[in-house]
């Protein structure tokens, strides 16, 4: 049989994560590829999920999400960002940020419309854009003085008459960049000049380091009314398996996304919603400890990677350290990632898979540090072998 997969999804076949995780298992390597923590979220929040099930929160919750969670999201955004949303109409609970972004793209883009995204980008973006029949216009983030940023002229050049949406992920996976106010100003200006809608992915909103603050694009002048703001509990509370996310925005944009979302999944699972409502209201101190912890893990891994010979870009947020492999004598991150298990017993992700134009990220490899200290230390001591090889 010919490939039964629709043409627009060809090329999205198997992800590098599956290949690398299989490789990690087969070779007994330490997996610093996929970004999920190896410790649990706040105990009382986990207990709340259990009690929610025991108390009978086991049937379809309301389409937009359980009221407790919608209210908790609004309270969180008011306290942290001074952003006011109406829990009835301006909040939609989704199956993770992945569904939030997908529903927004599918709801807002006609076939042929263009979506600007900063490459390297989270891999689901390109698939969502393809499913919508839309066209992705990548703007490349490049290292400048140790952090990845974009050229404002390239951003402006990416916008045209068919541009509909700008996808903005900050704190940014996989580069670790947290957009500055000046960078966000450029994006906001573009949105206003071209009448674009911003779809943001803020899943690492609380996981920033060195006192760097995450600024939501919706807080910039004129942006609240044109921003679909998405986030999720997965990264904030170390519960990536709960797949509980949300959209906040003006009612007409949220309604559009909900029109699509209701036919993707109808609603999101009920028990997690009640537990995440507890988390947002009562567990932010736990999150601040997680942030401090992650900052020291970042330092631990970054120091080890530098010592092993990588050029390291210190991230200001997220779970990931970005490295340049050329100082070690390697040129292709994909080839190195495939060899790394046998060379050093460690699995990482070749950053080129996150690019529309992979050649632009050929020499970068991404390592995750959301792991127990002893796991990071063991990975670092194994990677020290690499220097001896080159
Ligand atoms: C992990 C991650 C997501 C996925 O969030 P879910 O809530 O699990 O769907 C989305 N965007 C980025 C940038 C991520 O790193």
User: For residue range 30-68, what is the model confidence (pLDDT) as tens digits?
Assistant: 999 988 999 999 999 999 999 999 999 999 999 999 999
User: For residue range 314-343, what is the model confidence (pLDDT) as tens digits?
Assistant: 999 999 999 999 999 999 999 999 999 999
For the ranges 3-17, 286-300, 359-373, which has the lowest average pLDDT?
A: 3-17
Question: Is 333 near ligand 1, meaning CB less than 6 Å away?
Answer: no
User: For residue range 252-264, what is the model confidence (pLDDT) as tens digits?
Assistant: 999 999 999 999 9
Ligand 1 centroid to 350 CA: how many Å? 18
User: For residue range 264-279, what is the model confidence (pLDDT) as tens digits?
Assistant: 999 999 999 999 999 9
Do 231 and 203 contact (CB within 8 A), yes or no? yes
Question: Is 234 near ligand 1, meaning CB less than 6 Å away?
Answer: yes
Nearest protein Cα to ligand 1, atom 15: 173
Mean pLDDT over each residue of the chain, to the nearest integer: 96
Question: Is 243 near ligand 1, meaning CB less than 6 Å away?
Answer: yes
pLDDT score recorded for residue 14: 75
- Ligand 1 atom index nearest CA of 172: 13
For residue 1, pLDDT beyond 80: no
User: For residue range 168-202, what is the model confidence (pLDDT) as tens digits?
Assistant: 999 999 999 999 999 999 999 999 999 999 999 99
- Ligand 1 atom index nearest CA of 232: 7
Pocket test for ligand 1, best of 117, 124, 234 (most atoms within 8 A of CB): 234
User: For residue range 118-174, what is the model confidence (pLDDT) as tens digits?
Assistant: 999 999 999 999 999 999 999 999 999 999 999 999 999 999 999 999 999 999 999
- Ligand 1 atom index nearest CA of 245: 7
Mean pLDDT for the stretch of residues 345-352: 96
Do 194 and 59 contact (CB within 8 A), yes or no? no
pLDDT score recorded for residue 176: 98
pLDDT score recorded for residue 15: 79
- Band of residue 389 on the pLDDT scale cut at 50, 70, 90: low
Question: Is 177 near ligand 1, meaning CB less than 6 Å away?
Answer: no
User: For residue range 5-23, what is the model confidence (pLDDT) as tens digits?
Assistant: 999 998 887 778 888 888 9
The pTM of the full predicted model, rounded to 2 decimals, is 0.97
């Amino acid at each position: 049989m010919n490939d039964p997969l629709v043409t627009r999804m060809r090329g999205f076949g198997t992800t590098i994560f599956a290949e690398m995780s299989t490789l990690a298992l087969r070779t007994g390597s330490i997996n610093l590829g996929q970004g999920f923590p190896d410790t649990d979220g706040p105990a009382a929040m986990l207990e709340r999920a259990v009690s929610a099930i025991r108390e009978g929160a086991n049937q379809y919750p309301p389409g937009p999400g359980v009221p407790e969670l919608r209210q908790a999201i609004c309270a969180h955004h008011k306290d942290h960002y001074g952003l006011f949303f109406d829990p009835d109409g301006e909040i939609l609970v989704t199956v993770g940020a992945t569904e939030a972004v997908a529903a927004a793209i599918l709801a807002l883009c006609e076939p042929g419309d263009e979506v600007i995204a900063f490459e390297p980008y989270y891999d689901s973006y390109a698939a969502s854009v393809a499913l919508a029949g839309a066209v992705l216009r990548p703007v490349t983030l490049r290292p400048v003085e140790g952090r990845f940023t974009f050229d404002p002229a390239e951003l402006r050049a990416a916008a045209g008459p068919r541009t509909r949406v700008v996808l903005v992920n900050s704190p940014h996976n996989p580069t670790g960049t947290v957009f500055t106010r000046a960078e966000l100003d450029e994006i906001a200006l573009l949105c206003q000049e071209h009448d674009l809608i911003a779809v943001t992915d803020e899943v690492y909103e609380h996981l920033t380091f060195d006192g760097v603050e995450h600024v939501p694009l919706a807080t910039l002048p004129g942006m609240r009314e044109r921003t679909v703001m998405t986030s999720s509990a997965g990264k904030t509370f170390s519960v990536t398996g709960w797949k509980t996310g949300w959209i906040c925005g003006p009612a007409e944009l949220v309604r559009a996304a909900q029109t699509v979302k209701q036919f993707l999944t109808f609603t999101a699972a009920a028990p997690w919603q009640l537990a995440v409502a507890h988390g947002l209201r009562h567990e932010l101190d736990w999150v601040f400890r997680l942030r401090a912890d992650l900052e020291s893990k970042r330092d631990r891994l970054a120091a080890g990677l530098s010592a092993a010979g990588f050029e390291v870009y210190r991230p200001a947020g997220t779970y990931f350290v970005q490295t340049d492999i050329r100082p070690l004598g390697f040129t292709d991150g994909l080839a190195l990632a495939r060899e790394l298990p046998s060379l050093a017993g460690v699995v990482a992700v070749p950053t080129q898979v996150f690019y529309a134009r992979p050649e632009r990220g050929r020499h970068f490899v991404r390592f995750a540090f959301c792991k127990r200290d002893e796991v990071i230390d063991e990975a670092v001591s194994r990677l020290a072998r690499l220097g001896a090889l080159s």
